Structure 1
Amino acid sequence: MNTSIVIADDHPLMLRGLTDFLTSKGYNIIGSAEDGKTAYNLIVKLKPEIAILDIRMPYMTGLEIAEACQKNDLPTKVILITFDKEEEVYDQALEFGVFGYILKEFAIEEIETCISQVVNGKPYFSEEIASYLKASTLENKPEALDSLTKSELKIVKLISENNTSQDIADELSISVRTVDKHRSNIVHKLSLDNKPTSLSIWATINKDFL
């Protein structure tokens, strides 16, 4: 658990609480900040594996930091903590390549699971977010699923269970290259952004239909 982490939140109690909790669990907290600009400068300088950021901070928001990290090809994976459930904010998080999205009321309960998945390249977001999005936008089976072949549906189901391309290749006795080709075709058919997390999150939200 030597994962290097920068934490930023403009609420001192939240910042201290999360920092103390993760430190007690053995994580390597290499920097913290109470505003977005300081947080971004720390990310640029220290290049942590993970940045845990509040969305709404002075000078730069968590979303703006995620966008800047993406534009500048920084290796840091961003996890956002927020009270926001708005679909527009969530869509922006996906657009900027955010790997984790946790509601603040569940931060302490979910943060370790989130970090564990994100470190391994798997997206994580609060179940409350999935439930909210499903209730507001996914009342019926997505029509796009009908365009997928049986093999593609099987792969989407495995993706929804947080399997990596290597996991899927092993399960189906095919090459990783073949899995990645299927993933590319699925992304095209579902009209998703070609971001690392987009298909995984789409599959997780829609797993009840698979």
Structure 2
Amino acid sequence: MNTSIVIADDHPLLLRGLTDFLASKGYNIVGSAADGKSAYNLIVKLKPEIAILDIRMPYKTGLEIAEECKKNNINTKVILITFDKEEELYDKAKAFGVYGYLLKEFAIEEIETCIKSVINNTPYFSEEIASYLNSSPINSHLEEISSLTKSELRIVKLISQNKTSSDIADELSISVRTVDKHRSNIVAKLGLDNKPTSLSIWANLNKDHL
């Protein structure tokens, strides 16, 4: 595993713990920082594949870094870790194209699964945060599940398992193009926007209802 990663957190123990843990698993930790400004400078300079960022840091928050990356077309995929369970922060993370969102108390347990999902261009959101936000407006689409065909519902279930279009195509013995066509139809039926992460977020939040 040579995935290049930058890690930033203003809590020294968590920063050290995540860095040592991922390095021991073979990931390429190219830089670490204790504040947001340093973290963003590292991302711009080193262009890592993934940046694991605390939401609340001095000088620049993880959300602000994600926003800057999106604005400046930086391809680094952002994973946010936080103690916060505020819906407003979660909504901002979605808007800024964040690929991963983990609660700190489960970070070590989930981080590898999250990274592997993100590497495959599939967003990963902690089940705990999804459960906490189960009353989020995104769940207002639940009644529209009944409009999905059996094939579409099966694909949504696989998406909720963080499977990529390629994984789904292999499992269902269909082409990736067919999977993508189904995804477009599902997005339209559920009234979601066309951002790449929207359907994955919706599926993860509603997996218990599928």
Tell me, yes or no, whether TM beats 0.5. yes
**Offset at residue 20 of structure 1 (A):** 1.9
- Write the letter of the residue equivalent to 2:187: V
Match of 1:40 in 2: 40
1:121–1:138 Cα change, 3 Å: closer
- Measured after TM superposition, the shift of residue 17 of structure 1 is 2.1
The residue aligned with 2:78 is 78
The Cα offsets for residues 72-126 of structure 1, whole Å up to 9 and x where unpaired, read as 2222111101011111111111111111111111112221221122112222222
Q: Does 1:205 align with 2:166?
A: no
RMSD between superposed Cα atoms in Å: 2.0
Give the aligned length.
210
Per-residue deviation, 1:132: 0.8
Aligned to 1:142, what secondary structure does the other structure show? Answer: helix
Aligned 8 A contact 2:8 2:36 in 1: yes
CA deviation vs aligned residue, 1:143-199 (integer Å, no higher than 9, x gap):
121232332222111211222111222233332112112212212222223222221
Task: Please tell me whether the aligned partners of residues 148 and 186 of structure 2 are also in contact (alpha carbons under 8 angstroms).
Answer: yes
- Structure 1 counterpart of 2:92, which letter? Q
Give the equivalent residue in structure 1 for 2:7.
7
5+ unaligned residues in a row in structure 2: which ranges? none
State the match for 1:180 in structure 2.
Answer: 180
Distance 1:20 1:142, change over 3 A: same
Shift of 1:142: 1.0
Q: TM-score, structure 1 length as denominator?
A: 0.91
Give, as a single letter, the amino acid of the residue that structure 2 aligns with 1:65: I
Moved more, 154-163 or 139-148: 139-148
Moved more, 36-45 or 136-145: 136-145
- CA drift of 1:51 comes to 0.2
How far apart are the structure 2 equivalents of 1:7 and 1:55?
Answer: 12
Secondary structure of residue in 2 paired with 1:134: coil
Q: Distance in 2 between matches of 1:110 and 1:90?
A: 18
Q: Which moved more, 1:187-196 or 1:29-38?
A: 187-196
**Distance in 1 separating the partners of 2:95 and 2:42:** 23
CA 1:48–1:164 in structure 2 vs 1: closer, same or farther (change >3 Å)? same
Structure-to-structure mapping, 1:89-108, within 5 angstroms: 89-108=89-108
Question: Is the 8 Å Cα contact of residues 122 and 164 (structure 1) preserved in structure 2?
Answer: yes
Cα 1:142–1:188 shift into 2, 3 Å? same
Contact 1:95 1:193 in 2 (8 A): no
Please say if 1:163 is aligned against 2:168: no
Shift of 1:66: 0.9
List alignment gaps of at least 5 residues for structure 1. none
Letter in 2 for 1:39: A
User: Residue 78 of structure 1: SS of its match in structure 2?
Assistant: strand
Q: Give the distance between the partners of 2:138 and 2:132, measured in 1 at CA.
A: 9
**Cα distance in 1 for residues equivalent to 2:164 and 2:58:** 36
* 1:7-58 Cα distance to aligned partner (Å, 9 max, x none): 1112222212221222222221111111112111111111101100000112
Distance 1:93 1:48 in 2: 19
Partners of 1:198 and 1:79 in 2: CA distance: 16
Deviates more, 1:54-63 or 1:140-149: 140-149
TM-score relative to the length of structure 2 = 0.91
Do the aligned residues in 1 keep the contact of 2:127 with 2:204 (CA within 8 Å)?
Answer: no
1:136/1:182 CA distance change after superposition, 3 Å: closer
Amino acid at match of 1:77: K
